Structure 1
Amino acid sequence: MTETFDRRRHPVRADLAAIDYEGRATASCFAEGEVFQVIADQLPIRPEPRPDRPIDTEALSGEWVTVYEQTPEGWAWGQLDTDGYVGWFSSDDLGPVKPATHRVRALRTYRYPVADLKFPPLGLLSIGSLVTVIGETETRGLAYALLSDGSAVVAKHLVPLDAVEDDWVAVAEELIGTPYRWGGRSSLGLDCSALVQLAAQTGGHGLPRDSDMQEAEAGEAVPHDDPATLKRGDLLFWKGHVGIVAGENRLLHANGYTMTVAYEPLDKAIDRIAATEWGAITKARRLPEL
């Protein structure tokens, strides 16, 4: 029997596949892959090497990707190390690997050419971005982290890689008002499952990217027939959508209804969503306490 591979999670095509799939997948050739680091602020990942296609997701600055093909047109096909997502992205936005020491905890932070906020920024890093700190300095009483690429960011906007938030839902709440963006995975714009993934990551939970993956794998299933039994941090799933229980009768989600990250009364959200293509709640899941 031929094994079926989800294109979002497995670097397998008819003409090319990762070497790890040799013997499992049918492909014209197999490649070892080469690891690179994302040097853009955000790197759109698409299902095809076409700029007019909607994005599936984004890689963040400092994350690693394993590349199995690069084209003369400047496209690369590979897999994101953070959550295993596979797709096409710009090879111009990749650089050599530098092991990260910290990640961005502020919703976003400017990257400066020198340790001085008066200078024009080089870029804007989102929460979840990874950086390599090689030193620290102070300018006019403000501490800056010096990064391996020669730039600087405000030091208090970073946390060590092993830092864990006691209440990751509070991090999701910090993103209220962020624009909804299909496939977005940054504090400049994100979708429902990216909100869950980014916020849960700060609490030490490594979740898959899309809502159907999270519904199948995140934590453990809990009953959802009585909303009163749900706890803060429980995840509620509909077909193609996920939201976070933020409190009694309160749902927090990135959604196309308000086009933002927003609170919504849970009972009203259930009724509203049931009247749309998403239908009824399909599952509730609870992440483990760490």
Structure 2
Amino acid sequence: MTDRRVTPDPTHVTLDIPAQVTGPIADLRQSPAGPRDRQVLFGDRAAILGRMEGHSLIRAQKDGYCGWVSDAALGPVHPVTHRVTSRATHVYAEANFKSPDLMHLGFSAGLNVVAETATFVETPQGFIPRQHVRPTEARATDPATIAELFLGVPYLWGGNAHLGIDCSGLVQAACLACGIACPGDSDQQAEQLGVALPSGAALQRNDVIFWKGHVALVLDKDTLIHANAGHMLVTTEPIADALARIEMQGDGVPTGFKRLEMPT
């Protein structure tokens, strides 16, 4: 059986048109009126594979994930020169924080910066504080630090953004920011991320713990960070407590421990 997340129904694949997300956040759905699988963010590039009922079937460039997005959320492709590196930011009408805010954007939103001032960058959408953006080539180097940006963000099934995120969305955001290729869902991540650790190996920062249907990132030998439905937010938790709580609630013991391979 094919995986619809990466191999959509071929009867719906009739196009191959480059596109880009033009809204702050867009749901990536199983069908035009179906439930959310994941989310794509402002500036994310995609290929439109087909159209139906005011929606487009897309393949997201960042991870190959396929799903249906509202046509209103897509537009033509423009350069992405910078990305938002704060948890969230505002787009202002002028290079002045007292001017009207026109749009909110979250971490990793892709921007086309056309000019800069001492305190703002200018994009076709408006002005964004310079402190909140970095050039696309300026990768982060520590996934755990990126994950900590999301502390307190509400849990949202299929979420990938500062307004709501799930366990695999958090790990993906942390990895992609550091140049580590990372698929969208935890089962895919368990297969494709990092190198498996032997049983009983000591854990270190940026190791990844997998359960069936869940994933967490290690902050230190005693602590992890994860978006979880137990707390309904992104939180840190002692590893021993998380293992006991998750097993007690019926979700079993970890299915694997892996060590991320950092790009050189």
Structure-2-length-normalised TM-score: 0.95
The corresponding residue for 1:92 is: 72
The corresponding residue for 1:34 is: 17
CA deviations on 1:146-195 (whole Å, 9 max, x unpaired) are 11x24111112111111122322112112111110111101111000111
Alignment of 1:69-218 (within 5 A): 69-71=50-52, 73-138=53-118, 143-147=119-123, 149-218=124-193
- On the 8 A contact 2:25/2:39 being kept in 1, the answer is yes
Alignment of 1:197-276 (within 5 A): 197-225=172-200, 229-276=202-249
Please give the secondary structure, in 2, of the residue aligned with 1:263: strand
When Rg is computed on C-alpha atoms for both structures, the one with the higher figure is: 1
Shift of 1:224: 4.4
CA deviations on 1:61-104 (whole Å, 9 max, x unpaired) are 00111112223x31111111111110111001111100200111
2:5 aligns with one of 8, 23, 32: 8
1:65 aligns with one of 46, 56, 59: 46
- 1:37 corresponds to which letter in structure 2? Q
- 1:230 corresponds to which letter in structure 2? L
Shift of 1:117: 1.5
Change (3 A) 1:7 1:109: same
- On the 8 A contact 1:218/1:287 being kept in 2, the answer is yes
- On the 8 A contact 2:86/2:149 being kept in 1, the answer is no
- Distance between the aligned counterparts of 2:98 and 2:197, measured in 1? 51
Shift of 1:115: 1.7
- On the 8 A contact 1:224/1:230 being kept in 2, the answer is no
Q: CA RMSD in A?
A: 1.4
CA deviations on 1:121-144 (whole Å, 9 max, x unpaired) are 111111111001110124xxxx11
List runs of 5+ in structure 2 lacking aligned partners.
none
- Work out the percentage of aligned pairs sharing the same amino acid: 35
Shift of 1:219: 1.1
The corresponding residue for 1:25 is: none
Please give the secondary structure, in 1, of the residue aligned with 2:64: coil
Shift of 1:16: 2.9
Please give the secondary structure, in 2, of the residue aligned with 1:181: coil
- On the 8 A contact 1:9/1:84 being kept in 2, the answer is yes
Structure-1-length-normalised TM-score: 0.87
Aligned length: 263
- Distance between the aligned counterparts of 1:176 and 1:223, measured in 2? 30
- Distance between the aligned counterparts of 2:44 and 2:141, measured in 1? 24
The corresponding residue for 2:261 is: 288
Point out 4+ residue stretches in structure 1 off by more than 4 angstroms. none
- Distance between the aligned counterparts of 1:177 and 1:69, measured in 2? 37
- 2:101 corresponds to which letter in structure 1? P
Shift of 1:106: 0.6
- On the 8 A contact 1:221/1:284 being kept in 2, the answer is yes
- Distance between the aligned counterparts of 2:84 and 2:210, measured in 1? 28
Q: Which moved more, 1:279-288 or 1:216-225?
A: 216-225
Please give the secondary structure, in 2, of the residue aligned with 1:277: helix
The corresponding residue for 1:26 is: none
- Distance between the aligned counterparts of 2:38 and 2:171, measured in 1? 14
- 2:122 corresponds to which letter in structure 1? L
- On the 8 A contact 1:175/1:187 being kept in 2, the answer is yes
